[in-house]
């Protein structure tokens, strides 16, 4: 037996490859290629290279299109893996041959080619599936350069292609959705009755919707040529600027109600919601004019209801008072007729007391109307607050703690002490009602220089009443001083309290300011002008004898006959010579004639020419003529009234006849400037 070993013809194949094992096991002598030893060097070299590649590769050798492949290619074959080695290429891949035959022929002709994402419908797992492949076809040559087959590197890209297709479909779907949403947005933008804006951070309008033309009459180009605030009502500008500051700070603004000027000059209310987004602000304004009008109508109805309750109560009180006066007069008349004068003084005192109660009622009405004549004097606000301390504590109850914080060097103010006391008491009771569960009530006084409250730079005495109660929203706070506006239940208030406080403060030349926040309490501050003059001394009543007015002439003008007759009688009893008239025109004719009075006493509210005009004409002829105005209204109640002229004074109705005599004497004597 010979020990001669023949060379291994498959030495070019790896030892641990399942595909190489199949090649070794194949009977190549019966194939078109013949024995392995006769294979061209180029074929064996390519097979060695193919098995060294990590990429799927196959070789089709001639003659006979004999198919070879490497291990990475096995997964591609699927069910056709069994028997694939040595099979004809066109038979193995008969289902896709029509798609690749041309590329194979091109390679066999000596020309390589590459194809990306080539679609092939193939049956690998018992069913037809759509696949995609990237192929690199190249000719296989022998050592002489003759084409002896072809080889290819291949990579299945089905997953990538399908992902790309899914992504494209998603993009297409998103684009369709965006187009739909854009059309919807454009439709909303175009047909919405609400105002839409796109505004730059500098306050310039970049874009507006067609509703601006429909609602306010402006074309889009007109609005975009304007700046922020150009159309806002002057009274709403401060709130609009505050909102713009919020937006620039990155905060959303909701329910900002401002009035915008229409092209015809009218104004309409819009409620705005605005959102900042980088360099722009998006905003929507809804017309709330109808709602505002309905609220005004409701408030008007509430005012009428409250006025009805108020009028009914006052009518009831007046009937009682008139009944008392009438009864007292009737008793006095009967006793005079019967010659029984005893106790008549008591009856007259009762009638006089009833008159004073009636005066109190008219004062309350005038306080509501903000037209009550004030009795101004030098007032120590700290003293007023201290005087209310003992009165307030039982009114507030045990659940409300009272704290007083008073500046020790507080300036004095020119005010009506009684009205100031009533105002503070009113605010304290309102504060108590805002703390149903108890809390802290603080009354503080301080000196202040006002610059930013719309009254110019001036010195003021500030009295602030602060509670820790429920507080109120900005919208409610803005209406708090409106007459008849109230947040209390029916029967718990008419809504006149804060209106009266504000009216009193304005009559003194000051203001009432409210600051509140829901859940954090409320502060109402009375700003009263500082009084730098000397403290007025309180004068005792001076008994004017009948000789005091001797030789002095009084021109009396009063359209109420009874009051004019009584005034004439008491002045004549004091020694004055009185010429009286019911109308200013009659008095003016007397002045243009021979009448040269020492003082003019006139009602302001006269028919025709009023008392102020009469005084002005009289002063043209007699510049130093003293004038005493008698009225139930404050001088400031007349909208066009200048300051009270020099050597003039006001006597508020109702007044005692002694007060009339004293006021006339003071003006003539020069003790009342």
Structure confidence at residue 606 (pLDDT): 87
Length of the chain counted residue by residue: 673
φ, ψ of residue 92 to 5 degrees: the values are: -60, -45
Structure confidence at residue 164 (pLDDT): 87
Q: Is the pLDDT of residue 354 over 80?
A: no
To the question of pTM greater than 0.75 for the whole model, the response is no
What is the average pLDDT across 557-571?
Answer: 87
Q: Between 300 and 413, whose confidence is greater?
A: 413
Q: Is the pLDDT of residue 531 over 90?
A: no
Task: Express each pLDDT in 630-648 by its tens digit.
Answer: 887 654 444 444 567 788 8
Range from 139-143, 211-215, 348-352, 372-376 carrying the lowest mean pLDDT: 372-376
- What is the spatial order of strands in the sheet that 253-261 belongs to? 205-208, 195-200, 280-287, 267-277, 253-261
d(CA 101, CA 113): 13
Structure confidence at residue 20 (pLDDT): 94
Task: Express each pLDDT in 415-464 by its tens digit.
Answer: 888 788 878 888 888 888 888 888 999 999 999 987 655 555 688 999 99
Task: Express each pLDDT in 470-521 by its tens digit.
Answer: 888 877 777 666 655 555 443 344 444 577 787 778 878 888 888 888 888 8
d(CA 404, CA 440): 11
Structure confidence at residue 445 (pLDDT): 95
Quick one: how far is CA 210 from the chain centroid? 24
Q: Between 390 and 264, whose confidence is greater?
A: 264
611 CB-contact burial (10 Å; exposed 0-12 / middle 13-18 / buried 19+): buried
Q: Between 80 and 350, whose confidence is greater?
A: 80
Range from 39-53, 249-263, 305-319 carrying the lowest mean pLDDT: 305-319
pLDDT tier at 130 (50, 70, 90 boundaries)? confident
Q: Between 188 and 216, whose confidence is greater?
A: 216
pLDDT tier at 543 (50, 70, 90 boundaries)? very low
Task: Express each pLDDT in 254-270 by its tens digit.
Answer: 988 999 999 999 999 99
Reading the block at residue 516, the tokens are 């509140």
Measured at the alpha carbon of residue 263, what is the angle toward residues 262 and 264, in degrees to the nearest 5? 90
pLDDT tier at 85 (50, 70, 90 boundaries)? very high
Strands of 147-302, DSSP E: 147-156, 195-200, 205-208, 253-261, 267-277, 280-287
Reading the block at residue 107, the tokens are 């390679």
The overall average pLDDT reported for the chain is 82
């Amino acid at each position: 037996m010979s020990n001669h070993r023949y060379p291994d013809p498959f030495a070019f194949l790896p030892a641990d490859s399942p595909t190489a094992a199949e090649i070794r096991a194949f009977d190549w002598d019966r194939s078109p290629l013949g024995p392995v030893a006769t294979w061209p060097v180029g074929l064996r070299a390519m097979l060695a290279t193919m098995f060294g590649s990590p990429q799927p590769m196959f070789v089709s050798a001639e003659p006979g299109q004999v198919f070879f492949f490497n291990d990475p290619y096995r997964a591609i074959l699927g069910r056709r893996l069994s028997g694939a080695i040595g099979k004809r290429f066109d038979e193995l891949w008969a289902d896709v041959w029509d798609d690749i035959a041309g590329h194979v022929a091109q390679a066999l002709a000596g020309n390589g080619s590459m194809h990306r994402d080539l679609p092939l419908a193939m049956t690998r797992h018992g069913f037809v599936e759509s696949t995609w492949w990237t192929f690199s076809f190249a000719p296989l040559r022998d050592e002489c350069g003759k084409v002896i087959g072809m080889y290819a590197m291949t990579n299945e890209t089905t997953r990538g292609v399908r992902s790309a297709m899914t992504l494209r479909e998603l993009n297409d779907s998103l684009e369709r959705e965006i187009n739909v949403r854009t059309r919807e947005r454009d439709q909303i933008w175009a047909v919405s009755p609400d105002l839409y804006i796109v505004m730059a951070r500098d306050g310039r309008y970049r874009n507006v919707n067609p509703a601006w033309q429909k609602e306010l009459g402006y074309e889009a180009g007109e609005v975009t040529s304007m700046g922020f605030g150009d159309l806002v009502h002057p009274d709403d500008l401060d709130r609009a600027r505050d909102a713009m500051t919020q937006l620039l700070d990155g905060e959303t603004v909701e329910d900002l109600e401002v009035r915008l000027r229409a092209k015809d000059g009218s104004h309409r209310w819009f409620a705005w919601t605005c959102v900042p987004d980088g360099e722009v602000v998006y905003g929507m304004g809804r017309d709330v004019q109808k709602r505002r009008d309905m609220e005004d109508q409701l408030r008007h109805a509430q005012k009428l209801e409250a006025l009805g309750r108020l009028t009914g109560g006052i009518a009831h009180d007046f009937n009682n008072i008139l009944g008392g006066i009438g009864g007292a007069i009737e008793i006095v008349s009967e006793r005079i007729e019967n010659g029984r004068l005893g106790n008549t003084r008591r009856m007259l005192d009762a009638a006089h007391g009833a008159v004073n109660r009636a005066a109190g009622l008219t004062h309350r009405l005038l306080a509501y109307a903000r037209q009550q004549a004030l009795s101004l004097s030098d007032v120590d606000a700290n003293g007023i607050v201290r005087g209310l301390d003992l009165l307030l504590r039982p009114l507030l109850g045990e659940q409300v703690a009272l704290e007083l914080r008073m500046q020790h060097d507080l300036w004095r103010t020119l005010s009506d002490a009684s009205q100031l006391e009533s105002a503070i008491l009113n605010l304290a009771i309102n504060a108590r009602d805002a703390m149903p569960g108890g809390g802290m009530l603080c009354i503080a006084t301080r000196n202040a220089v006002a610059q930013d409250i719309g009254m110019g730079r001036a010195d003021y005495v500030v009295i602030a009443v602060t509670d820790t109660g429920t507080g109120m929203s900005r919208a409610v706070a803005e209406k708090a001083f409106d007459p008849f506006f109230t947040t209390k239940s029916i029967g718990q208030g008419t809504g006149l309290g804060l209106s009266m406080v504000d009216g009193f403060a304005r009559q003194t030349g000051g203001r009432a300011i409210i600051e509140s926040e829901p859940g954090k309490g409320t502060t109402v501050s009375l700003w009263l002008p500082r009084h730098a003059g000397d403290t007025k001394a309180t004068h005792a009543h001076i008994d004017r004898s009948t000789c005091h007015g001797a030789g002095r002439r009084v021109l009396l003008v009063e359209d109420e006959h009874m009051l004019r007759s009584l005034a004439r009688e008491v002045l004549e009893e004091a020694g004055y010579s009185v010429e009286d008239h019911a109308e200013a025109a009659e008095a003016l004719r007397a002045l243009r004639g021979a009448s040269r009075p020492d003082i003019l006493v006139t009602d302001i509210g006269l028919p025709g020419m009023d008392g102020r005009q009469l005084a002005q004409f009289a002063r043209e002829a007699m510049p130093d003529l003293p004038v005493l105005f008698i009225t139930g209204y404050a001088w400031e109640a007349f909208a066009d009234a200048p300051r009270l002229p020099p050597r003039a004074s006001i006597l508020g109705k109702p007044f005692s006849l002694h007060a009339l005599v004293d006021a006339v004497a003071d003006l003539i004597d020069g003790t009342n400037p």
